[in-house]
A and B are shown apart, each in its own frame.
Chain A
Amino acid sequence: MNVRWATKKTMKEETDYRPMWSELGLDLEKHDALLGVLGKSYGDVFLSQKDRPEGMGYLDFVMSEVHGLRVKEVMDARKDGKVVVGAFCVFVPEELVLAAGGVLVGLCTGADFGTEKAERYLPRNTCALIKSFFGFTLEKVCPYIPTCDLIVGENTCDGKKKAYETYKDLIPGEFLAMDMPNTKSAEGREVLRKAYVDFAKQLEEMSGRKITVEALKAGIATANAKREALHRLAKLRHADPAPISGLDALLINQVSFYDDPVRFTGSVNKICDELEERIAAGEGVLPKGAPRLIFSGCPMAVPNWKLSAIIESSGAVLVGEESCIGERGSQNLVSDEGETVEELIDQLVDRYFAIDCAIFTPNPGRCEHARQIATDAGADGVVHYSLQFCTPYQMEAPVLERKLEEGGLPVLRLDTDYSQEDVEQLRTRVEAFVEQVRR
């Protein structure tokens, strides 16, 4: 049986990807089980929504093929000699990978899968994101991991950097530990610059292609265009009524890590055209005046839709995300002013170094960014989301809560993981928060 995501397919014959998955060494039985669960969850969470933009059909298609056609595309690229790089973090610059003629894919970290096996290597009180990428790898259910020539592990939090010491021996391809600064100082900037220079060197060696000024400028243009499309989407969500659900907007941001960047950008812009029409016609996913919330906190990787689904089934609409999968990840563009590769790498560093990740100390910009997003989006409140055992975000949570509330913006602070057992507890808090801000 060919297990598929439960999406509507009308135009296309179903392709049998099992030979490809076997070739990649996946555990077909467990992989079927995973796709079965994900497909059902996708149907329940996304396809049950009313009044979705038509352009979301493209995202449905991408998700239905996320372990199929997209993997095949990446494998084909690899067969053509392109270097395939896997990453877990927004600090890994796609521009450099593109300039080396390669493909960058975000790796699966959003589901409670293979936790038991992961805990053979990791302490139980490790965050769900780290357990998840161990679980996906150890259970052999992620088709991207064996497709990658290189996986980059960035030394962000302590959990990740120590986990990578073990992880690098669990993957078939090469591993690069990318060092990360923890202060926004001149020394910190130099750490990031050196990390990018080393990364560029490794990409050149692996691809056999020299990164040229032209190629890097083209990579910058492609990545900027993707970010601009996401910025455009973020801005359109400021309209009341909101023209698109927070779930669909989250999905678009999630897919930005997997999909071909040029095709993705075109599709997002098409969705944005449609949203502009909706706004002009006063149409929205909920009536005007419905409670509006934003997220701030840890990233939500596919298929982590739990909190968004709870919030949007409680009568509120999500209108922004201060998150890596959201406006923290896509903020700012890279300037392409420069005559040499070194100058352009400096431009990359300028853009990435400004990301308000909680690994930096101090990190005042993040709270300001959350406040800005909430203000621009006309939000009634902020839901702060931390993964359990994610020290950087859990530490920032009460500070951010106090500062935002002093400014009159109610904050609901939630700690959770990828399991489904606490859905009802979370729902009680979320519903009470929606009751609180609805006025």
Chain B
Amino acid sequence: MRIIGLDIGSRTVKRVIVEDGRMVGHRVLPGTHDPLSVCEEMLAGQEYDRVVATGYGRRLFAEHREAGMITEIRAAALGVRHVHPTARCILDIGGQDTKVISIRPDGQVGKFEMNDRCAAGTGRFLEVMATALSYSMAEFVRAGDEAEEAQAINAMCTVFAESEVISATARGVDRASMARGLHEAVSRRALAMLRRVELHDDVVFCGGGALNGCLQRFVAEGLGRDVHVPDEPQILAALGAALSALPEPG
């Protein structure tokens, strides 16, 4: 059986193909203003038995195509446990959401936390801040990682934080220390959410935010535990969506 999992997120669309229970391919494209067309492009020329959608676009997609739907919470849990079976806690930083999911020993979702409705402390927040500091994303991450000093950033609202960054720039504050301060701020936010659920090892960090080495470091340091980042951390919800169509084991 060949199943396609689509994770239609706020910034990117992720596609994973699962055949006979194993991942055989994946692809990531920008979501653009028209995620449906991106989904069509992802499906073009593919043969498959089922599609399961997750992410913010799941309902929109299911209105246009015959598709299953699951939330990104359950999808992330399924995907992470597939590649990292001993995961008990997931931090997922995406484009507009940060999620923390605790997983019970039986593999089921125990509890989850999500950030409030705005893009505070998410991937999108860091992108906006990188632009405000005239960095590319890669430069921004490197600068944050290498800076010795951190400029404290208090506001977590994207708009207010940008004002803070601009006024700090006007005071002559070094931009690398702001890069570090912003990464620390996002990590603090994620750590606060992690501490609201019962923490058990292993902690797995996924979503596009997990590609950010500076965030990885601050989260692990703040938590005082190993934080595991799987290969291709941003496609795990799409993988979970595809896996959800498989019959329950046992």
Find the residue from B72, B97, B114, B117 having the highest chain A CB count within 10 A.
Answer: B117
Q: Which residues of A contact B70 (CB under 8 A)?
A: 435
Query: Contacts A435-B109, A436-B109, A439-B108 given: A428-B117 contact, CB under 8 Å?
Result: no
Cβ-neighbour of A432 out of B56, B59, B74, B117 (below 8 A): B74
- Is B129 interfacial (CB 8 A cutoff)? no
Is A431 in contact with chain B by the CB < 8 A criterion? Answer: yes
Q: When chains A and B are docked, how far (Å) is the Cα of A248 from the Cα of B56?
A: 29
Contact assessment for A435 and B116 in the assembled complex, using a CB-CB cutoff below 8 Å? no
Q: Report Cα–Cα, A137/B74, bound state, in Å.
A: 44
By a CB distance below 8 angstroms, the chain A residues around B111 are 405, 410, 436
Question: With an 8 A cutoff between CB atoms, is B71 at the interface?
Answer: yes
CB distance from A127 to the nearest CB of B (A): 15
Contact with B along A427-438 (1 / 0, CB 8 A): 111011001100
CB distance from B112 to the nearest CB of A (A): 6
Chain B residue nearest to A433 (CB atoms) is: B112
A425 to B111, CA, bound (A): 17
A422 and B73 contact, Cβ closer than 8 Å, known pairs A432-B109, A432-B112, A436-B109: no
Q: Provide the bound-state CA to CA distance between A410 and B110, in Å.
A: 9
User: Chain A 407-439, CB within 8 Å of chain B: the 1/0 string?
Assistant: 000100001100001101101110110011001
CA distance A278 to B112 in the complex (A): 36
Count B-side interface residues using an 8 Å CB cutoff.
Answer: 16
Contact B56–A431 (Cβ < 8 Å): no
Task: Kindly count the residue-residue contacts between A and B in the assembled complex, taking CB atoms under 8 Å apart.
Answer: 39
B56 contacts A435, C-beta separation under 8 Å:
no
Separation of A432 and B111 alpha carbons in the complex (Å): 10
Chain A's closest residue to B72 (CB) is A428
A422:B117 contact, CB within 8 angstroms: yes
- Contact between B73 and A432 (Cβ–Cβ < 8 Å)? yes
Q: How far is the CB of A93 from chain B (nearest CB, A)?
A: 37
Q: How far is the CA of A111 from the CA of B73 in the complex (A)?
A: 30
Please tell me which one of the listed residues A405, A410, A421, A432 contacts residue B71 in the complex, with CB atoms under 8 A apart: A432
**Smallest CB-CB separation from A429: which chain B residue?**
B114
The docked-state distance in angstroms from the alpha carbon of A421 to that of B118 is 11
Expressed in whole angstroms, the minimum distance between the Cβ of B83 and any Cβ of chain A is 20
Residues of chain B from 109 to 168 with CB closer than 8 A to chain A in the complex = 109-112, 114, 116-117
Q: Is the CB of B108 within 8 A of A428?
A: no
**Interface pair A428/B56, CB less than 8 Å apart:** yes
Known contacts A410-B111, A424-B56: A435-B71 contact under CB 8 Å: yes
Contact A428 B116 (CB under 8 A): no
Chain B interface SS verdict (over half)? mixed
Nearest chain A residue, comparing its CB with the CB of B56: A424
Which residue from chain B places its CB closest to the CB of A402 in the assembled complex?
A: B196
Contact (Cβ within 8 A) A431 B117: no
Most-contacted residue by chain A among B70, B71, B112 (CB, 10 A): B71
Contacts of B114 in A (CB 8 A): 425, 428-429
Residues 190-223 of B, flagged 1 when their CB comes within 8 A of A and 0 if not, give: 0000000000000000000000000000000000
**Of B71, B109, B110, which contacts A428 at CB under 8 A?**
B71
Nearest chain A CB to B41 CB, angstrom units: 23
Is the pair B117, A435 in contact by a Cβ cutoff of 8 Å? no
Tell me, in angstroms, the Cα distance from A425 to B94 when the chains sit together: 13
Residue of B nearest to A439 (CB): B108
Nearest neighbor of B113 in chain A, beta-carbon distance: A413
- The proximity string for B residues 51-85 relative to A, scoring 1 for CB distances below 8 Å and 0 otherwise, is 00000100100000000001111100000000000
Q: Among residues 222 to 248 in chain A, which have CB atoms less than 8 Å away from a CB atom of chain B?
A: none
Complex Cα spacing A429 to B101, Å: 12
Residues of A contacting B97 with CB < 8 Å?
425
Most B CB contacts (10 A, CB to CB) among A410, A424, A432 go to A432
On whether A415 and B109 interact (CB within 8 A), knowing A424-B56, A428-B71, A435-B74, the answer reads: no
Residue of B nearest to A398 (CB): B196
Assembled-state Cα–Cα distance A435/B73 (Å): 9
Complexed CA–CA distance, A424 and B110 (Å): 22
> Smallest CB–CB gap between A382 and chain B, Å?
13
Question: For A416, A422, A425, which residue has the most chain B Cβ atoms within 10 angstroms?
Answer: A425
**Interchain CA distance A422-B56 in the complex, whole Å:** 12
Residue of B nearest to A314 (CB): B71
The reply to whether B116 and A431 form a contact with Cβ atoms under 8 Å apart is: no
CB distance from A307 to the nearest CB of B (A): 14
B59: chain A residues within 8 A (beta carbon) = 424, 427
Task: Tell me the nearest residue of chain A to B55, going by C-beta.
Answer: A428
Residues in B neighbouring A435, C-beta threshold 8 A:
70-71, 73-74, 109
Q: How far is the CB of B9 from chain A (nearest CB, A)?
A: 12
Instruction: Give CA–CA (A432, B72) in the complex, Å.
Output: 8
Q: Which residues of A contact B74 (CB under 8 A)?
A: 432, 435
Residues of A at the B interface (CB closer than 8 Å) are 405, 410, 415-416, 421-422, 424-425, 427-429, 431-432, 435-436, 439
Extra pairs beyond A424-B59, A429-B114 (4, CB < 8 Å): A425-B97, A431-B71, A432-B112, A435-B74
17 contacts between A and B (CB under 8 A): A415-B116, A424-B56, A425-B97, A425-B114, A425-B117, A427-B59, A428-B56, A428-B73, A429-B112, A429-B114, A431-B71, A432-B73, A435-B73, A435-B74, A435-B109, A436-B108, A436-B112
8 shortest interchain CB distances as A-B pairs: A432-B73, A432-B71, A422-B117, A431-B71, A436-B109, A435-B74, A425-B117, A428-B71
